[in-house]
């Protein structure tokens, strides 16, 4: 079962999140027929968005990564209930492993931005972005949180892919410094993080999110344990709204061609068949 934990050490000078999400990455790999490097990149992004949505009481967070690499744009979303979804523009990109590691940075690229949109159910959404550092995602997310949200953060994300493409392990952690933490305490935690084995190694050995955080903090209090699920929010109503947004000319064009259209959701690959009668209805709605 995929889940997220939120915890604080007794000193309350840091906050910590960790996630295990192998099943979710395996699900999305099957739905979207992801290549190994696409699984690794999208899986890291999904673990990342799960971590940063770990603090949400309401609403959702959208993470967008566009580094100009062959994978194209990565889009992931996480909400306050632990629902995740994500997609990558070119899911079948294949790049050979380098030093036995999937070259995620190369596949994502680093000429571009990481953007975060927070929709907390208010009138306005909060949006911010920073330049990519490496395209490896964890570093990029840490840089974003430290610079844009001004919370010094350490992020580790990892996906281990088997030779047949299936997912062996996936997850990560996020440690954030709170204002009360002194420099020497920060250094002590940094050293502990540096000494840790790769996150994929820990997850593959069966370390739970709690156990991973206990490797960094001795006196941890677990505040919340939240189950995670891969869940899409698409439905016919949203597809119709999307079609209306295309505009009158586009819809008239579909009618003129005289064939029903098929809309496929990028996130869950659900197919929606739209009849010409429906297009006609949408056009009438638009004229009002």
* Strand bridging mode 60-66 / 74-79: antiparallel
Task: Tell the smallest beta-carbon distance from residue 104 to Zn ion (Å).
Answer: 25
Given 133, 137, 203, 268, the residue binding Zn ion (CB under 5 A): 268
Stretch that binds Zn ion, among 62-70, 203-211, 244-252, 266-274 (CB under 5 A): 266-274
Looking at the Cβ atoms of 14 and 267, the one nearer to Zn ion is 267
Nearer to Zn ion, 21 or 234 (CB): 234
Residues that contact Zn ion, how many (by CB under 5 A): 6
| 144, 230, 267, 272: residue in contact with Zn ion (rule CB under 5 A) | 267
DSSP 101: B
Q: Decide: is 31 part of the binding site for Zn ion (CB under 5 A).
A: no
Q: Is 121 exposed, middle or buried (0-12, 13-18, 19+ CB in 10 A)?
A: exposed
The answer to whether 90 and 108 are in contact (CB under 8 A) is no
Minimum CB distance to Zn ion, residue 32 (Å): 11
Q: Decide if residue 234 touches Zn ion (CB under 5 A).
A: yes
Instruction: Verify binding: residue 265, Zn ion, rule CB under 5 A.
Output: yes
Is position 28 an interface residue for Zn ion (rule: CB under 5 A)? no
Q: Which residues pair with 227 in a beta bridge?
A: 3
**Which alpha helices (H) appear in 175-273, and where do they start and end?**
183-195, 199-204, 209-214, 236-246, 248-257
Could you give the CA distance from residue 248 to residue 253 in angstroms, rounded to a whole number? 8
Q: Least separation, in Å, of the C-beta of 31 and Zn ion?
A: 9
Separation between Cα atoms, residue 48 and residue 63, nearest integer Å: 9
By rule CB under 5 A, what string of x and - marks binding of each residue 87-106 to Zn ion?
--------------------
The yes or no reply on residue 141 touching Zn ion (CB under 5 A) is no
Instruction: Report the C-alpha gap between 136 and 44 in whole angstroms.
Output: 9
Greatest extent of the chain over all pairs of C-alpha atoms, in Å: 70
Between residues 88 and 265, which has the closer beta carbon with respect to Zn ion?
A: 265
Among 34, 2, 9, 5, residue whose Cα is nearest residue 17: 5
Nearer to Zn ion, 7 or 234 (CB): 234
* Residue 76 touching Zn ion (CB under 5 A): no
- Our finding on whether 232 is near Zn ion (CB under 5 A) is yes
Q: Are 15 and 65 in contact (CB under 8 A)?
A: no
CB of 265: closest distance to Zn ion in angstroms? 3
Nearer to Zn ion, 8 or 234 (CB): 234
Alpha-carbon radius of gyration of the chain: 21
Question: Terminus-to-terminus CA distance in the chain, angstroms?
Answer: 48
Which positions lie near Zn ion, rule CB under 5 A? 232, 234, 265, 267-268, 270
């Amino acid at each position: 079962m995929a889940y997220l934990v939120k915890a604080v050490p007794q000193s309350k000078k840091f906050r910590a999140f960790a996630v295990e999400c192998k099943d979710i990455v395996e699900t999305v790999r099957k739905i979207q027929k992801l290549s190994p490097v696409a699984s690794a990149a999208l899986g890291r992004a999904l673990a990342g968005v799960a971590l940063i949505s770990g603090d949400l009481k309401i609403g959702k967070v959208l993470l967008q990564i566009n580094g100009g690499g062959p994978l194209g744009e990565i889009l992931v979303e996480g909400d306050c209930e632990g629902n995740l979804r994500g997609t990558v523009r070119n899911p079948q990109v294949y790049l050979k492993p380098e030093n036995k590691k999937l070259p995620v940075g190369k596949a994502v690229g680093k000429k571009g931005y990481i953007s975060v949109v927070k929709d907390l159910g208010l009138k306005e959404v909060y949006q911010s972005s920073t330049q990519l550092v490496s395209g490896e995602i964890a570093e990029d997310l840490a840089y974003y949180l430290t610079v844009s949200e001004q919370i010094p953060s350490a992020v580790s994300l990892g996906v281990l892919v088997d030779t047949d493409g299936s997912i062996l392990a996936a997850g990560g952690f996020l440690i954030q410094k709170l204002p009360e933490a002194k420099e020497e305490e920060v250094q002590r935690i940094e050293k502990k993080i540096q000494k840790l084995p790769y996150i994929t190694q820990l997850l593959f050995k069966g370390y739970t999110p709690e156990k991973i955080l206990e490797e960094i903090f001795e006196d941890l209090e677990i505040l919340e344990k939240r189950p995670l699920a891969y869940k899409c929010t698409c439905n016919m109503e949203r597809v119709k709204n999307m079609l209306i947004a295309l505009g009158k000319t586009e819809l008239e064009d579909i009618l003129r061609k005289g064939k029903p259209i098929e809309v496929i959701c990028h996130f869950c690959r659900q197919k929606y068949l739209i009849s010409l009668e429906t297009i006609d209805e949408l056009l009438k709605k638009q004229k009002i």
